[in-house]
Amino acid sequence: MTSQKILSDQFISLAHGNGGRLMRELIEQLFARHLKNDLLDTDTDAAYIPLNLQGGDIVVTTDGFTVEPLEFPGGNIGSLAVHGTVNDLAVSGATPLYLTLNAFVEEGLEIALLDRIVQSMAKACQECRVKIVAGDTKVLKRGQGGGVYFATTGIGQRSSTLKLGIKQIELGDLILLSGTAGDHGTAVMLAREQFGLSGTLKSDAASVMPITQALIKHPGLRFMRDPTRGGIATIAHEIAKSTLSGVRFYESKIPINESVKAVAEMLGYDPLYMACEGRVLAVIDPLEAEQALQDLHDLGYREAAIIGRIEKGAAYALIETVLGGERILQELEEDPLPRIC
C-alpha cells in the first residue's frame, strides 16, 4: 500500500507539523507504520528501554544527516541515517541497540518519496537489529531545508573490559582499511550529475558491525573509526595529533575503486579525503594484523588491506607514493563535497 492512499495529501504541507490531524496521520501512517516495534509508542514523550547494566558499559552517540540528493545509488538518507549511527557505535566496540529519530521535513516534499526513505530506514533497522524507540517531527517552510534532514541518537552496550581508543595506539602499530576508499562521496557526487558526469558506482553505505565484531576478537586491536567526512586522511591527522606520532600510508596498498580514481583525476579530488559510509579504519598490533586481515577476507571483505603504520617522529600524516617518494597529507580546510552524509 502506498503512502498516497494512506495520507490525505500528496505533498508535505506546514499543517503536517502543526500538532493536529495531519501531523498525527504523518506520524502514525507513515513513520510508525514502517518503524513499528514493541518499544515504539507514539502516544508518549519518552521511551522505556531495557538495558542490562551488568552486561557492560552504555555507549551513546548522536548524528545528523543532510544528504543531497536524498536518494543515491546504494541507499538514501533513511538507510544512511541508520547505518551512520549504528557505525559510530560499532567502531567504539559497542553493540548497537536503540535509536531515536528527529525528522525535519520541508514543505512541498513528495510524500511518496518520504515513504520510500522511511521504508528504507526500517529495512536498515531490521538488518542492523536495532529499534527506533522515540522521535519527533518538525516541518520547515519551503526553501528552508533540503527536503528532509534527520538527527539521530544511538545507544549501545560494550564490554567494560574492552580497551579501545586513540590513546591506546602504540609506535609500530599497523593501519588496516576494511575496503575501498571514497566510494560514498563519489557515488553521491555522480548522483548529482554535476560537471556533466554520471555513473553506476554505488555508495558503500552499510553496517560495519560484521567488521568490528571480527576485529574486537583480537586483543591487539587499539582503535577503530569509520572514515566518513574527510575520509581516511582526516583520521590520519586525528591520530597524529593525539599520539604525537607519524602516520604513514602506502599508496600502493590503499584499495581504491577504478571509477573513484577516474572521477578524482578528472576533477582534481583526492580519494583519501572522500567519505566512506561502510568502511572501518583500524589500528592494530603488528603481531595480530595479518590474522585480523585474514579474518576480514574470510568474511568476504576481499579488498581489506593493511595500508600503513604508526611511526616515531613529529605529528604528521604522509603517504609513501608508488614511485617511492613521500607526500605530506595536508589537513582538510574546505569541504569539497558538502551534504554527502
Residues 170, 281: one domain?
yes
Provide the pLDDT for residue 258. Answer: 92
Provide the pLDDT for residue 3. Answer: 45
Residues 53, 77: one domain?
yes
Residues 153, 170: one domain?
no
- In this prediction, residues 72-88 reach a mean pLDDT of 96
**For residue 4, what pLDDT band results from cuts at 50, 70 and 90?**
very low
Count up the domains in the chain and report the number: 2
**Residue 268, Cβ density class (10 Å: 0-12 exposed, 13-18 middle, ≥19 buried):** exposed
Residues 95, 217: one domain?
no
CATH number of the domain within which 236 lies: 3.90.650.10
Q: What pLDDT, in 10s, does the model give residues 176-186?
A: 999 999 999 99
Provide the pLDDT for residue 1. Answer: 39
**Residue 122, Cβ density class (10 Å: 0-12 exposed, 13-18 middle, ≥19 buried):** buried
Give the C-alpha separation, 168 to 50, whole Å.
31
Prediction pTM value:
0.91
Provide the pLDDT for residue 196. Answer: 63
To the nearest whole number, what is the mean pLDDT of the chain? 91
Q: What pLDDT, in 10s, does the model give residues 182-201?
A: 999 999 888 887 666 666 78
Residues 170, 316: one domain?
yes
Residues 176, 315: one domain?
yes
Asked whether the beta carbons of 254 and 182 are under 8 A apart, the reply is no
Give the C-alpha separation, 27 to 137, whole Å.
8
Q: Which domain holds residue 137?
A: 3-158
